[in-house]
Amino acid sequence: MTILEIVQTIIGIVGLPTAIFSVLLLARQTQQLKESIYSQVYQGVIECSLKVDELLIQYPQFRKYIYENEMVDENTPDLDRLMTIIELVVDTMDHLNVQRKYIPSEVRTSWSRYSYDILNTPAAKYFFEKYPGWFPMLLKATQMWEDDKK
C-alpha cells in the first residue's frame, strides 16, 4: 500500500464521521435558530399587547369598550381617541394573525380566544363598519379563531 493510499484511507475514515457530525451540528443550529425566531416573533406580539395595556392604564375610561362590551356610536365621548385605541388593538390582532403559526401552541388557543372576543366587541365592530376593507384578512381570521376556541 502506497503512502497515497494510506492517506486516502485515513481521510475516508476520518471524513465520514466528521461529515456526519457536521450535519448533526447543522441540524441542531437550525433548530436553535427556529426557536430564536419564534421567540422574537412572540415577543413582538407581547410588546404590541403591552402597548394596548399601557394605553388602557393611561385612559381607563376606555376599558369598558374593549373588555365590557360597552356600546359605541357617534355620540360616544372622546370617540376619536377611542377609535385610535381600537385601531391599535386591531393592529395588534392583525399582527397576531400574521404571526399565528409562530405563536407557541400551548398559548395559541388563549390568544385566539382573546382575539375573537376583542374583535367582536361593539367598539371593534363600529371600527370595522367605519373603516371597511382595512383588515379583510383579519375578519376572515376570526372564523379560524372561532374554530380554535372549540
In a domain? residue 36: no
Q: Is residue 14 part of a domain?
A: no
7 domain residue, yes or no: no
Torsion sign over Cα 126, 55, 138, 107: negative
Handedness of CA 96, 101, 106, 109 (dihedral sign): positive
Number of domains in the chain: 1
Kindly provide the residue ranges of all beta strands, DSSP E only, lying in the chain, ordered along the sequence: none
Domain membership flag for residue 132: yes
**Position 23 in a domain:** no
Q: Would 9 be classed as within a structural domain?
A: no
Q: Give, rounded to a whole angstrom, the gap between the first and last alpha carbons of the chain.
A: 71
How does pLDDT run across 58-84, given as a tens digit for each residue?
999 999 999 999 999 999 999 999 999
- State the average pLDDT over residues 15-19: 84
The answer to whether residue 26 sits within a structural domain is: no
Structural domain that includes position 100: 41-149
Task: Name the DSSP letter for residue 76.
Answer: S
Which one is predicted more confidently, 42 or 124? 124
According to the model, what pLDDT value does residue 109 have?
Answer: 83
Mean pLDDT to the nearest integer, 97-120: 84
Contact, 122 vs 65, CB < 8 A?
Answer: yes
Q: How far is CA 8 from CA 21, 57, 119, in A?
A: 20, 71, 67
